[in-house]
Amino acid sequence: MAEKELILISHGKMAEGVKASAELIMGEQEHVHTVCLLPSEGPEDFKQKFENEIAGMDVADITVFADLMGGTPANVVSRMIMGGQKIHLISGMNLPLVIEWLNSQMNGVESDYITAGKAGMVDVTEMLAKMNK
């Protein structure tokens, strides 16, 4: 069975930061990759970098987490999917989402990444206020 690959894509270097944070918690991750859209680049530059990153990978085993729905990185990959690429794309990347993906790979079970990512968003101030009532 082929190893699954995760590609984090973002505006600026957010994807690299999320990967570094995940590795701080989970250890080095050879199957997590990043492709960042830098200020001097446009959609074609990003597409070329993304295609270079996935070259040689089994596309059926690629999941992509994008920082923002409707942004250039997600739009470029969306167009590739609409063109026939079998890539699984999820937008709204956050650290809980990435950690859930990593845990599911380590445990060999599928997981609901979106629920995990949403569950990671907590208004801590509100939660603490309710605890103190």
User: Can you give the pLDDT at residue 2?
Assistant: 54
User: Can you give the pLDDT at residue 78?
Assistant: 98
Q: How many Å apart are CA 110 and CA 133, to the nearest integer?
A: 39
Q: Model confidence over 29-50: pLDDT tens digits? A: 999 999 999 999 999 999 999 9
User: Can you give the pLDDT at residue 132?
Assistant: 85
**Domain encompassing residue 20:** 5-131
- Residues with Cβ within 8 Å of residue 40, at least 6 apart in sequence: none
Tell me the pLDDT of the chain averaged across its residues: 94
Full-model pTM? 0.93
- 26 pLDDT band, cuts 50/70/90, is very high
Using the predicted structure, report yes or no on whether residue 100 has a pLDDT greater than 80: yes
**CATH code at position 65:** 3.40.50.510
User: Going by DSSP bridges, is the β-strand pair 5-11/32-37 parallel, antiparallel, or unpaired?
Assistant: parallel
Q: Model confidence over 119-130: pLDDT tens digits? A: 999 999 999 999
Could you tell me how far CA 21 lies from the centroid of its own chain? 13
- 58 pLDDT band, cuts 50/70/90, is confident
Q: What is the 3-state secondary structure (H, E, C) of 13-58?
A: CHHHHHHHHHHHHHCCCCCEEEEEECCCCCHHHHHHHHHHHHCCCC
Q: How many Å apart are CA 13 and CA 36, to the nearest integer?
A: 6
Using the predicted structure, report yes or no on whether residue 1 has a pLDDT greater than 90: no
Using the predicted structure, report yes or no on whether residue 74 has a pLDDT greater than 80: yes
Q: Based on the structure, what is the number of domains in the chain?
A: 1
Q: How many Å apart are CA 62 and CA 7, to the nearest integer?
A: 7
